[in-house]
Structure 1
Amino acid sequence: MVQDALAQAGYPDRVLVACSGGPDSLALAAVAAYFARRGHVDGHAVAVGAVVVDHQLQPGSAEVAARTAETLAELGLNPVLVRAVDVASSGVGPEAAARDARHAALEAAAAEWDAAAILLGHTMDDQAEQVLLGLARGSGTRSLAGMRPVRGKLLRPFLGLRRADTLEICRAEELDPWHDPSNADPTFARSRTRVEVMPMLEEKLGPGVAESLARTAAILQLDADYLEEAANNTFAQLAERTGTDISLPEAALNELAPAIRFRVIAKAAADVGGQQPSYQRLLAAEALLRRKGSAGPVELAGGVSVYRLSLAQLLDEPGGEAERGGSGVPRGSARCGKLVFRLQKPTRF
């Protein structure tokens, strides 16, 4: 599987394995070490190193990172980098904050060593949990598509393996993996899904639930990719820029299939500097298309306002009469019949 992943990535000549010391990533490191000792994959030269990220969230985390680094060096990986990170309280939740800090450290380590790929040890069980969590949140296609096997520099060659398989690899290689206590901590939704929900589903529905959820993710990845490409092309065709504002013509939006229309609206919000809107906020913004005259603003995540501006409102604005062009039409009237997206400047006191 590692061989296939590297082939899919174009046979990078330098690869880093992200390893926490847990069974999944340690098993991945052991498999990758085989190619490190050979020095090539399918005849393509490759050097394999590793990076251990210490999140500093648990007592003794530095010792765990040091032991893991020692094991990785014994496997033959070189270099072995250890990076300690500070997990910021950014309001996105502890798991998401830790993931953001970890990915930033991995990208920095890859840049430092000029590695073209980073191997991650996520398994089929992780993918199944991801899909279940997306279902629980009421997420859309992209979230339910789970983790991608290849995303930029990130490669996940073990998405076809069960967690039990990685434990078996560790036993076969006589490795003693570290078991993160947070994986059984009911405080975290992912841990509850792993320890309680998945076993219950396997018991009540029969074996094969993880495989079915992972297969669902693979199918939805194809759908999500198609919809994303269609939305990107449509947004590029429709978006009109006036300063930092973006306008989308209502007539063209109304002709779009809803799946594309919602994505185009979300892209406009992101393009002016906002965040991915929630589904409820997208519904509110899309509802402006069915309003007459001026409507809005609808506030979206990240400080973005979207509104429909009518010709009558432009005439009533201060300076509206003075700003008429030679035809007697306000200069801003080009925005009429369009949704306008604007990033609001923060108020200073």
Structure 2
Amino acid sequence: MDHTRALTDAVAAFAKEHFAADRRVCVALSGGPDSLALTAAAIGADLAVTALVVDHGLQPESAGTAAEAAAAAEQLGADARVLPVTVGADGGLEAAARAARYGALDGAREGRPVLLGHTLDDQAETVLLGLARGSGPTSLSGMRAWRQPWGRPLLSVRRADTVAACAEWGLHPFDDPHNSDPRFTRVRVRTEVLPLLDDILGGGVPRALARTADMLAADDEALAGLADELAATTTTPDGLRLSPLRAAPTALRTRVLRRWLLDGGATEPTGRVIAAVDQLVIGAPGRGAVAVGGDPATRLTVARDGDLLVWRTAPRG
């Protein structure tokens, strides 16, 4: 199999669908096989590539690794920039590094789309993690191939294919030790859970999970559009109108609630929090306020006030 041709064709098809007018793109380059193969394929597909290399500073040699990745991109014919970031602590190391990375990429892209090297295997891991955490259909629908400004041209490509393509191109990807560190949940899913499922079920599990994501994504997009219409009739400057929400199907009502909570400053609402807020909408009057976030000094809650769902704040302690 000509892996380089397969990857280049995948990127070319993606570009034809989404970037017909402007061929300038950024590629998020870590130096690993997925993003390095994506960089080479994007150049092979005649895109004008700027490689953005985020240096998380989490390893002593990270600056040198980032510089090597940038140099590899330049040798392929891309422009390259290294973006040093400071990783915080909110939500754990994985979540904090992701937030820092996406913030840096968004700040440096200068209006261009950013291509990400996520593969079919990454999609399968995302779906399985969402299923295990009870995250709901939006999480199970996985990563979108295109959600401006983020593009993922390799979601139909296996991770083994990017490794093989790098070998065929004569590229030498960086082997990030974090990708084999069992402290990270995703690593254990990748190295232990998925191989075990694949063995027990006779193979094909990653592709089956990715197909599940594709099917649920179509359903989720349709429901999101209907939820937009419902939100337009329920959202007011004073709060969220309850009467039209009560008449709506649960799938639409909870989507509107989740979006309203996020827009109002709630911490990422879990299924349990959304269910509790939903009971304020459909349950009998008199229920107490639901805590949805805040900061060290202030407690943020949602309460029912007549036919409105409203925000309340109170000092902690």
How high is the TM-score relative to the length of structure 1? 0.82
TM superposition shift of 1:142: 1.0
Question: Contact 2:55–2:66 (CA<8 Å) still a contact in 1?
Answer: yes
Once the two structures are superposed, the pairs formed by residues 10-159 of structure 1 within 5 Å of their partners are 10-11=19-20, 12-35=22-45, 40=46, 46-77=47-78, 79-90=79-90, 92-111=91-110, 114=111, 116-159=112-155
Distance in 1 (alpha carbons) for counterparts of 2:65 and 2:180: 18
> Which residue among 261, 272, 275 is the counterpart of 1:283?
275
Partners of 2:308 and 2:116 lie apart in 1 by 41
- Aligned partners of 1:262 and 1:286 also within 8 Å: yes
Indicate yes or no: 2:174 matched with 1:205.
no
Q: Which aligned pairs between 1:305-316 and structure 2 lie closer than 5 A?
A: 305-309=301-305
Shift in alpha-carbon separation, 1:257–1:173, aligned structure 2, 3 A: same
* Residues 10 and 31 of structure 1: CA distance in aligned 2, closer, same or farther (over 3 Å): closer
Q: Which runs of 5+ in 1 are unaligned?
A: 41-45, 310-335
**C-alpha contact (below 8 Å) 2:39/2:49 kept by paired residues:** no
Q: Is the 8 A contact 2:281 2:309 kept in 1?
A: no
Identity of aligned residues (%): 42
Which residue number in structure 1 is paired with residue 241 of structure 2? 248
Q: Is the 8 A contact 1:202 1:208 kept in 2?
A: yes
**What per-residue deviation string (whole Å, max 9, x for no partner) do you get for residues 144-177 of structure 1?**
1111101111111111000110011011001111
Q: Return the alpha-carbon distance in structure 2 between the equivalents of residues 144 and 293 of structure 1.
A: 34
Alpha-carbon offset, residue 304 of structure 1 = 3.8
Task: Pick closer, same or farther for the CA change 1:109–1:215 going to 2, 3 Å.
Answer: same
Of residues 3-12 and 222-231 in structure 1, the stretch that sits farther from structure 2 once superposed is 3-12
Q: How far 1:136 moved relative to its partner?
A: 1.3
Is 1:340 matched with 2:309? yes
**1:80 is matched by which residue type in structure 2?**
A
What CA distance in whole angstroms lies between the structure 1 residues aligned with 2:224 and 2:315?
31
Bigger Cα Rg: 1
Structure 2 distance, partners of 1:292, 1:199, is 48
| In 1: Cα distance, 2:282 partner to 2:44 partner | 61
Count of aligned residue pairs for this structure pair: 303
Aligned to 1:332: none
Is the 8 Å Cα contact of residues 54 and 104 (structure 2) preserved in structure 1? Answer: yes
Deviant stretches of 4+, over 6 Å:
none
DSSP 3-state at the match of 1:275: coil
Please identify, of 265-274 and 203-212, the stretch whose mean Cα deviation from structure 2 is larger: 265-274
Q: CA RMSD in A?
A: 1.8
**Counterpart contact for 1:127–1:159, Cα < 8 Å:** yes
Q: Classify the secondary structure of the residue corresponding to 1:295.
A: coil
| Counterpart-to-counterpart distance in 2, 1:191 and 1:173 | 27
TM-score norm. by structure 2 comes to 0.90
Mapped to 1, the partners of 2:56 and 2:165 lie a distance apart of: 26
* Counterpart residue number, 2:7: none
Deviation at 1:272, TM superposition (A): 2.6
Query: Residue type matched to 2:15 in 1?
Result: L
**2:255 equivalent among 249, 258, 263:** 263
| Partner in structure 2 of residue 229 of structure 1 | 225
Is this contact kept in 1: 2:123–2:142, CA < 8 A?
yes
Q: Distance in 1 between matches of 2:199 and 2:240?
A: 52
SS of 1:296's equivalent in the other structure is: coil
Distance 1:268 1:17 in 2: 32
Kept in 2, the 8 Å contact 1:272–1:343? The answer is: no
Q: Pick closer, same or farther for the CA change 1:230–1:59 going to 2, 3 Å.
A: same
Other-structure match for 2:11? 2
1:296 maps to which of 280, 288, 307:
288
